[in-house]
Amino acid sequence: MSDIRSVCTLAAAVSMLACTHARPSSVGVEPGRVPASLYAGGADCAGGLTFHVYAYDADFYILRQAACTSFEKPLLYLLFGRDRALLLDTGDKGADVRTPVDTLVRAWLARNGRAATRLVVAHSHAHSDHVAGDTQFVRRPATDVVGRDTASVRAFFGVRRWPDDIGAIDLGERAVDVIPIPGHQMASIALYDRRTGILLTGDTFYPGRLFVRDTAAFARSISRLTAFAASHHVTHLLGAHIENTRTAYRDYPEGTVDQPAEHALDLGVAQLVELDSVVHAMRGRMTRTALRDMTIWPVVP
Which residue ranges make up the site for Zn ion (CB under 5 A)?
127, 129, 203
Nearer to Zn ion, 240 or 269 (CB): 240
CB of 295 to Zn ion, least distance (A): 14
State in angstroms the smallest separation of the CB of 21 from Zn ion: 39
Q: How far is the CB of 204 from Zn ion (least distance, A)?
A: 9
Task: Give the residue with the Cβ less far from Zn ion, 29 or 240.
Answer: 240
Query: How far is Cα 112 from Cα 90, in angstroms, rounded to an integer?
Result: 25
Distance CA 224, CA 279 (A): 13
* Minimum CB distance to Zn ion smaller for 74 or for 197: 74
The residue (of 104 and 210) whose beta carbon lies closer to Zn ion is: 210
In the complex, the smallest distance separating the C-beta of residue 125 from Zn ion, rounded to whole angstroms, is 5
Nearer to Zn ion by Cβ, of 120 and 131: the residue is 131
Q: How far is the CB of 168 from Zn ion (least distance, A)?
A: 23
